[in-house]
Amino acid sequence: MRSSIDLAETGLRYVNFDSAWGIPQYITAVGEFRYGALVLDGASPTLTELSFNQINTSSVLTTNLAQPSFNGGDFAVGIDANTGIVGAALQIYSSGSSVSPFSLSDIALTGTNNGCGDRDNGRHTIWAENSFIEIDNAEIQSGDFGIGLWTSAGSV
């Protein structure tokens, strides 16, 4: 979803993403491509009870001041370690603002059980850089690492 969509007419409710492959998106903030089953490029829709299962990359990837509101939902870390493009359940780059933060409420996150050592290939359930985030009631059901916030602000 891009910022050019009509948000008054656009939203997702009760959608299940099962065995989805990630869409490549160039992330200016890191100078590399990242991949997500759902990519929000500057868009700010309200997304209700989305479910992600057996995703090969990240469940959701956001960038370019995306300010979505996620109400409920289940998000999973990427599982395809063979390709090297797996990622956190939610990869958030340059999203949200102090006035309108990236918002997550009543969500469940499922990570990997690889371990937390230097060579274990553990993953964060949420990875955020240069973003404003508000998280209310997030349950991490399993995972190596929890929520990673780098040069980001907000509340958890």
Q: What pLDDT, on the 0 to 100 scale, is given for residue 7?
A: 67
User: Which residues, 6+ apart, have CB-to-CB distance to 148 below 8 Å?
Assistant: 88, 124, 126, 127, 128
> Tokens standing for 84?
């090297």
pLDDT along the chain (156 residues), means of 10: 72 94 94 96 95 95 96 93 83 96 97 80 91 96 89 93
Q: What pLDDT, on the 0 to 100 scale, is given for residue 8?
A: 62
Distance CA 125, CA 26 (A): 21
pTM for the whole structure: 0.92
